[in-house]
Structure formats: C-alpha cells, structure tokens
Amino acid sequence: MNHIATPAAATSAKHEKYVPFAPVKLTDRQWPNRTIEKAPVWCSVDLRDGNQALIEPMGPDRKRAMFDALLKMGFKEIEIGFPAASQTDFDFCREIIEGGKIPDGVTIQVLTQAREELIRRTFEGIKGAKRAIVHLYNSTSELQRRVVFGLDRQGIVDIAVAGTKLIKQLAAEHPETEIVLQYSPESFTGTELEFALEICEAVMETWGADAANKVILNLPATVEMSTPNIHADQIEWFCRNMKNRDAAIISLHPHNDRGTGVAAAELGMLAGADRVEGTLFGNGERTGNVDVITLALNLLTQGVDPELRIDDINEIVRVAEYCTQLPVHPRHPYAGELVFTAFSGSHQDAINKGLKALAKSNHGTWEVPYLPIDPQDLGRSYEAVIRINSQSGKGGIAYVLEKDYGIQIPRRLQIEFSKTVQRIADETGKELAPADIHNAFKAEYLDIDAPLALIEHSTEPRGPNSGARVLNVVVSRDGLVSTLKGSGKGPIDAFLDALRQGAGIDLHVVDYREHAVGEGEDAQACAYVEVKTNDDRTLFGVGMDADIVTASLRALVSAANRAAR
C-alpha cells in the first residue's frame, strides 16, 4: 500500500519562530472610504537609497546623468546623497551647487545621521544652495534600541533632539540657504506608534514648527513588516493623534520586502500622507524602494495627473539601466519590454477589436481590453502590442498582417491560416516576427503557382443584349501552356467555367471579398475567394495585383492549387 504524505505531515515547523505583526487598534479607520485625487509631493532618492544599493555605486558621470533625468521628469525634490559619509557624494553636492545645476523651484535633499560631526560636514556640503532639505534620522525601533544601541526611549529622543538643535543653530548661521528640516524615525514600522509620535513631536517642538515653518516627518517602512492595510492604519493613527498636524508634511518611504511597497504607499496616501520618497523602477536595498514610476502611472490610469513627465518610458529605462547597471525586467509594470505585448490568442483578438472600436469612437476615453494604459502616452508605439508564438491565435495574426502589411484577411481565412502559423511556431519553438507571418502567408496563398499558373487573360467584347461575358485565359498547367475559354455573368464566373471545361477543375465560390492595399499609384487590390471542392472541402485562395480583375483570377488560381495538394 502506498502512503501519500498529507500537507500537514510534509510541513516543517519553521513558521513557529516568526511572530505575526500586531494590528493597529483603529476601529473607525477612514482610509478605506477615500480615493486618491491628487499626486503626492514626490522626492526621488535614487542618488542615495538607490545608489547605496548598487554593486558598483555611481561615479560622477552616472550621477549627473541620473540627476539630469530626474530634473527632466519634473521632480522638485531630489535627495542627492549623504555628503558626510562619502567624498563622492560631497563632491557631487558641491559640483551641482557651484556649477549652478539646480534649477529654480527644485530643492536638493541631503541625508545625515544625528551626529554632530556629520551634521556639520553636511552643512559644508550644501553651502551656497538656495534651498535644501536636511534629512536627519536615527533608528527608533524597539529591536534596534535593545539590540544595536542599548538605549531606552529617552536616550533615543535625546539623540534626535540634539541633532535638531544643531541643525537649527547652523541654519541660523547660514541665512543665505533656506533650510527645511526632515526627520525620519528610522525603522518606523518596527517602532511603537506612541513612541514614534513622541519623538517626532519632540523634534517639531525643538525646531519650532508651525504652519508657516513645517517639518517633513518621514515615516519609513525601512523594512516592510506588515500587510499594506496595517501600514495604512499606522499612518492614519499617527496623523490623527498628532498635536499639530498642520505643522508637518507627512512623508512615506516604503521598502518592498514583502513585495507590496506600491500598495503600501497608495494606502498610506489614502491614510493621510502628503509626500512619497521612492526610486525609478524600485531600485534600492534588498527588494528595493517603492517604485515611483509604477505609483505615478497608477495615478494616471485613474485620471489623476501624476505631475511627473513619463512620456518617453524607453528613454527613462535607458538612463536608469546605464546609471544603475541593472536591467529593468521585461515584465516590469508599465516599463518592461513585454508589458504591452500579447502572445495569447484570446488576448490578441480582444486587443485587436478594442483598437478598432477605439478608432471609431469619439468619446476620448481609453478603453482597450488588456491594455490599462495607452502605450502611446508613454512614448511606445502599437508595433509590439501583438506578437506571435505558439500560444497565439487568429486575431493576433490578423492584426499583424493588417497593421504591418495592410492585408485584411476575412475571419474564416484567419481560422484557416492560423493553423499554418501554429504549425510553424510549434516546429521552431520561437516567436514569429511580422516578416515571418507575412512570408508564411505569401507561401501559403500568394506565391503558389503550381500546378496552375495564370499567364494572361482578356475579355471578348459583348453586345448590349448579351448576358454572358466571355473570358480567354492563358494558363500554364504542369509546365504546359494552353488557352482556356469560359463564359459567365462576370470574370470570376467566366473563369470558373473555363477551368471546369478546359482543365477539369470544378470549384464553387462560397464567398468573395476584396480591398485595397496601400494608396495612390502603389495601391494594389487584394482579393479573397472561399471555394468548395467536389470532395466537399472548403478552402481559400488569395490574389494580389494592381488590377482588380487580375487579383480575382489569381485568387481562384491560388484556391485551385491549394485544392490540388
């Protein structure tokens, strides 16, 4: 008798060493009923958090390229580094200040721990700047107080207050620079909420914060430790329990350890946050910082102006990959190479129909299945929206032929030709490029000239009372040239009669379609015939020519040759 292990028997006890994150006691939470109606204040931390997470940190050239890209996107607050901790950061700070590289309306941000020598060095780094955010931090979590610092709560508060006093003093000594204080209770997510509020309020009181002189309180998920809803509860609890809410700008700094950094940021905004710090494509320590690109474009898809320029996503990807030396994943939201590409047949068919319906509508709303955003809004074209592999279907194949070659194949022909494409894709195991699809279509329908080939044709004049059209056709059959004659109501009917009488080929037309390919002098007619053979098979023939009659006769020859296989 075979014994099959049950899931319970196969489970280890590793989970028992982990403690679930405690929920926040907030029974009347308001954030679930809110919607995001405006963009937050964005602060890029690519040049600090992003840079410190790189295997090879950015040198001067890559720092300048990143800074310029952030300015071009419209960031108004940019954390440019930790000038007291790195000579490279210090030099970059001096370079952009002394070189006049900071546009009006843009504020640089610099990071410093709450240590006197580091704070003084930071002020040396920002000397001469018009406006700067000095970002002061010290760790406040229960775990770090106990394990790392060996300090009680008051000892941690004293560090933050002493750092704030020194920054206030140095700001007064440098009136040429407007100093904005930002304080981060680092590891906020691991800090008791009442203590996080206590230390932040102590910093605000020391600074003398009021509505005209606000402090930025940055509440970082230095390590993402809970589900996003609990993070939102933390932010709402904090905002609701502050003594002087209008004297603070509440800022989020989510990390992505649980893979829900974007959701945590969005719910944190619903909970009352005003500002978000993040990086392009989420580059940062461990699993990264929150991805500003995804956040901003999520807003765009909800009809909210993200207040960032992301109209050339390929260029942003190129700069980010150059600066970080890290690839952007092909499935990365909005930015990945494949995110607007459908291989699935049903998806392709829906997208194809959606784009056609959109072209006919005039209401201006973007509505295309499987495409939550218009690729053209990000500087992408529709060229790669549908790509063909073994998972693709008739709709995708039809889209490619029409978009790239102007060939509008009828639906039943789509079904027939898709089997050919499927066979090729299965045999190669690879994606088929548009040229591969077109070549297969030509080989199957347009370039098939054996056993029968059309050489020339002419129509005999008919009198006003003559009901039949007489067609003379010169064909090659198995290499032998002969002239066939037939009559009928029109050229197609007459050619069918000629084939029946002169070549023993008996076909019956079930359907006929035609359309123009191209415009002007280069335009060609494309004709499709669906025929039934004597052995009750139904198949298609296709013909193309500058002359519509010739295209129609070529389509019949195509069908006859395919029937002879």
Q: Reply yes or no: is the peptide bond before residue 327 cis, omega within 30 of 0.
A: no
DSSP string, 444-477: IIIS--SSEEEEEEEE----TT---EEEEEEEEE
Q: Is 289 annotated for ligand binding?
A: yes
CB 378 within 8 A of CB 313: yes
Instruction: Tell whether residue 347 is among the known ligand binding residues.
Output: no
Q: What 3-state DSSP class applies to 147? A: helix
Q: Which of 174, 187, 281 is nearest to 234 (CA)?
A: 187
Question: What is the torsion angle, in degrees rounded to the nearest 10, for the CA atoms of residue 45, residue 143, residue 244 and residue 262?
Answer: 40
**Which residues, 6+ apart, have CB-to-CB distance to 472 below 8 Å?**
457, 458, 459, 460, 483, 484, 485
Using alpha carbons, select from 469, 419, 467, 468 the residue that is nearest to residue 440.
Answer: 419
CA nearest to 544, candidates 453, 401, 446:
446
Task: Quote the CA–CA distance of 32 and 291 in Å, as a whole number.
Answer: 22
Beta bridge partners, 178, equal 131
- 255 annotated among ligand-binding-site residues: yes
The response to whether 332 counts as a known ligand-binding position is no
Q: For 308, phi and psi rounded to 5 degrees?
A: -135, 145
Q: What is the spatial distance between Cα 412 and Cα 403, in angstroms, rounded to a whole number?
A: 19
Neighbours of 458 (CB within 10 A): 10
Distance between CA 257 and CA 254 in Å, rounded?
9
Bridge-partner residues for 185, per DSSP? 138
- Residues forming the annotated binding site for Mg(2+)? 49, 253, 255, 289
Query: Residues annotated in the binding site, as ranges?
Result: 49, 253, 255, 289
